[in-house]
């Protein structure tokens, strides 16, 4: 067996060196495509995480007119809990709203200076048993005396999530195109290698080497490039997480972010994809160019 | 050992290379395959190697029916066959030892077996002293001996030679023929396609003559001369 492994390692090294530029192009393309795909996967993880927390926290805000009387407010609160759809009602006074704003925009003087307790409406923050029941609650309380507006906060979030999903879809679409290019490059590299080795391959066929024995160096060559690309892509994602996301974490502290552990979860998937894609591309082009 | 039953082979460009050939070659025979260029000699050899498939008829080699043989079984067939060609087909970047060892290496033989067997077969072809030379440093006759060593190192039951002396001068050719004769005497069936009238006439072995794909003569202890 020793001879066989030495032969394989040797052939793969020769093949990769012979087409150094081609190999580099392949690795870079695989890297870019898998990095994009991995980024798409991480965005998805991020959306899942944020959704779980944000949808759980924010439901409906019922903004109140400044003119609302204490009686109107009490009966509004009573009627809200009488609907039987409500899990929790929190009254946010104008002062509380002002404190919230000060907290959220801490350090941003221009905003803080322009905001006074006066211009902020008081509101009820309402958590529903079933978030889907928003329409029922909204239609019932929209025209209620003293109510200015009923806002489904999820709609605001949905906008944010729609943007995230679009980002993810874009990344995945470009990644798929790139993966196709990577497969084409691998196929082309193998054609060149197959041509350079045609004498050797011919002799191997004549003396009765099995088809798999002939194919293996080519396929391993492809897989090596695929795995190298996947690992480089993993490195880029890790770097992105360590710099970009870590900085965001410092600035935005009301949603949870993906962690390095999530990047580690994505990397094995990328390696499998890179290796698998390369193996399939290599196998198919061998049938064409080597007739084995 | 080899049997062709009514074999016809037409290439895609409508050239008929073999027409209704039936022939049987038994174990240990030495057979010359003669005929002009394009008479179908090479196609005959390619059919035995299962490098080509016949359009009609059956081919049997080393006890195996080649028609309908699965492609993954072909390597097993070829381990029973040694091949020698006019152009030697040696790898320039490997030494004599490595070229011969390559044939064993790629069919997964263990290293110790290769190290033991290759010098033996180099001894047989008289090239023990050139073991570390590269093909470019050898004469044509020596290169053909390396090629024969590679074909024979796995002790195949059949040795197929396609114009093995085609690139060699007469004196060198005689040496190669002596070597092939010795290999034949070990019990190896030998089929040799050739143009070389002198060799065929001096060896007086079985001669099968092809003309435009048809078998026109099958003669034991024959000579090259057409129709003779």
Mean pLDDT by 10 residues, chain A (292 residues): 71 78 87 91 84 67 86 87 84 85 72 79 83 78 84 76 85 87 85 85 92 88 91 94 83 76 92 92 84 65
Q: What is the pLDDT of residue B116?
A: 95
Cβ–Cβ below 8 Å for A4 and B75: no
Query: How far apart, in Å, are the Cα atoms of A45 and each of A56, A159, A280?
Result: 17, 17, 28
Q: What is the pLDDT of residue A57?
A: 61
Mean pLDDT of B109-125: 94
Chain B residues within 8 A of A203 when measuring between CB atoms: 89, 91, 102-103
| B70 interfacial to chain A (CB closer than 8 Å) | no
Chain A residues within 8 A of B83 when measuring between CB atoms: 206-207
Cβ–Cβ below 8 Å for B78 and A208: yes
| A17 interfacial to chain B (CB closer than 8 Å) | no
Mutate: best of B53, B76, B91, B106, partner A, most A CBs <10 A: B106
Rounded to two decimals, the pTM is 0.72
Q: What is the pLDDT of residue A254?
A: 66
Cβ–Cβ below 8 Å for B106 and A199: no
Q: What is the pLDDT of residue A3?
A: 62
Chain B residues within 8 A of A213 when measuring between CB atoms: 106-108
Q: What is the pLDDT of residue A142?
A: 82
- Side-chain-facing half-sphere of A263: CA atoms under 13 Å: 21
Mutate: best of A18, A198, A204, A207, partner B, most B CBs <10 A: A207
Instruction: Give the residue from chain B lying closest to A206, CA to CA.
Output: B78
Give residue B226's pLDDT band: very low, low, confident or very high (50, 70, 90). low
Tokens describing residue A229: 């690309």
| B157 interfacial to chain A (CB closer than 8 Å) | no
| A203 interfacial to chain B (CB closer than 8 Å) | yes
Convert the pLDDT of each residue in A29-71 to its tens digit: 899 999 999 998 898 888 887 777 666 665 788 888 888 888 8
Cβ–Cβ below 8 Å for B154 and A203: no
Q: What is the pLDDT of residue B140?
A: 95
d(CA A285, CA B150): 30
Would you say residue B227 has pLDDT above 60? no
Mutate: best of B75, B88, B152, partner A, most A CBs <10 A: B75
Mean pLDDT of chain B: 93
Distance from CA of B222 to the nearest CA of A (A): 30
Cβ–Cβ below 8 Å for A206 and B49: yes
Three-state SS string over chain A comes to: CHHHHHHHHHHHHHHHHHCHHHHHHHHHHHHHHHHHHHHHHHHHHHHHHHHHHHHHHCCEEEEECCCCCHHHHHHHHHHHHHCCCEEEEEEECHHHHHHHHHHHCCCCHHHHHHCCHHHCCCEEEEEECCHHHHHHHHHHHCCCCCEEEEEEHHHHHHHHHHHHHHHHHHHHHHHHHHHHHHHHHHHHHHHHHHHHCHHHHHHHHHCCCCHHHHHHHHHHHHHHHHHHHHHHHHHHHHHHHHHHHHHHHHHCCCCCCCCHHHHHHHHHHHHHHHHHHHHHHHHHHHHHHCCC
Cβ–Cβ below 8 Å for B106 and A7: yes
Element (H, E) at B19: strand B16-25
- Lay out the sheet containing A86-92: strands in order across: A86-92, A123-128, A60-64, A147-152
Q: What is the pLDDT of residue B228?
A: 43
Convert the pLDDT of each residue in B9-67 to its tens digit: 999 888 889 999 999 999 999 999 999 888 999 999 999 999 999 999 999 999 999 99
Mutate: best of A2, A3, A197, partner B, most B CBs <10 A: A3
Chain B residues within 8 A of A200 when measuring between CB atoms: 91
Convert the pLDDT of each residue in B143-179 to its tens digit: 999 999 999 999 999 999 999 999 999 999 999 999 9
Give residue B118's pLDDT band: very low, low, confident or very high (50, 70, 90). very high
């Amino acid at each position: 067996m020793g001879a066989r492994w030495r032969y394989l390692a040797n052939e793969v090294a020769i093949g990769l060196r012979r087409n150094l530029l081609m190999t580099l192009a392949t690795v870079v393309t695989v890297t870019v495509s898998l990095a994009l795909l991995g980024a798409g996967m991480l965005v998805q993880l991020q959306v899942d995480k944020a959704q779980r927390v944000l949808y759980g926290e924010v439901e409906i805000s019922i903004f109140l007119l400044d003119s609302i009387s204490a009686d109107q407010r009490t009966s509004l609160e009573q009627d809200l809990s009488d609907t039987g759809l409500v899990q929790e009602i929190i009254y946010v006074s104008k002062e509380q709203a002002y404190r919230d704003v000060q907290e959220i925009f801490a350090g941003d003087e221009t905003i803080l200076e322009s905001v006074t307790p006066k211009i902020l409406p008081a509101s009820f923050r309402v958590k529903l048993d079933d978030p889907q029941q928003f329409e029922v609650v909204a239609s019932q309380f929209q025209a209620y005396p003293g109510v200015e507006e009923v806002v489904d906060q999820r709609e605001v979030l949905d906008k944010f999530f729609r943007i995230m999903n679009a980002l993810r879809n874009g990344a995945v679409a470009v990644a798929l195109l790139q993966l196709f290019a990577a497969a084409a490059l691998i196929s082309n590299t193998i054609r060149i290698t197959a041509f350079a080795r045609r004498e050797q391959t011919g002799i191997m066929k004549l003396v009765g080497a099995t088809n798999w024995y002939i194919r293996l160096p080519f396929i391993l060559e492809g897989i090596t490039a695929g795995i190298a690309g996947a690992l480089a892509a993993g490195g880029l994602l890790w770097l992105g997480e360590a710099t970009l996301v870590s900085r965001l974490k410092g600035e935005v502290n009301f949603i949870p972010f993906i962690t390095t552990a999530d990047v580690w979860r994505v990397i094995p998937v990328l390696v499998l994809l890179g290796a698998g894609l390369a193996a399939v591309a290599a196998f198919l082009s061998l049938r064409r160019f080597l007739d084995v | 050992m080899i049997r062709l039953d009514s074999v016809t082979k037409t290439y895609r460009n409508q050239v008929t290379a073999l027409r209704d050939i039936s022939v049987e070659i038994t174990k240990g025979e030495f057979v010359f395959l003669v005929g002009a260029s394009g008479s179908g000699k090479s196609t005959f050899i390619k059919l035995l190697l299962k490098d080509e498939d016949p359009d009609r008829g059956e081919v049997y080699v080393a006890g195996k029916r080649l028609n309908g043989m699965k492609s993954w079984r072909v390597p097993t067939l070829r381990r029973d066959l040694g091949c020698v060609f006019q152009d030697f087909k040696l790898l320039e970047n490997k030494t004599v030892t490595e070229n011969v060892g390559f044939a064993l290496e790629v069919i997964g033989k263990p290293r110790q077996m290769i190290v033991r067997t290759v010098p033996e077969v180099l001894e047989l072809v008289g090239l023990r002293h050139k073991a570390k030379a590269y093909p470019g440093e050898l004469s044509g006759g020596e290169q053909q001996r390396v090629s024969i060593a590679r074909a024979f190192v796995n002790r195949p039951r059949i040795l197929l030679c396609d114009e093995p002396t085609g690139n060699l001068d007469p004196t060198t050719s005689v040496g190669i023929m002596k070597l092939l004769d010795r290999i034949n005497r070990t019990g190896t069936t030998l089929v040799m396609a050739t143009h070389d009238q002198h060799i065929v006439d001096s060896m007086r072995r079985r001669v099968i003559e092809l003309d435009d794909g048809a078998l026109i003569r099958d003669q034991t202890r024959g000579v090259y001369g057409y129709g003779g």
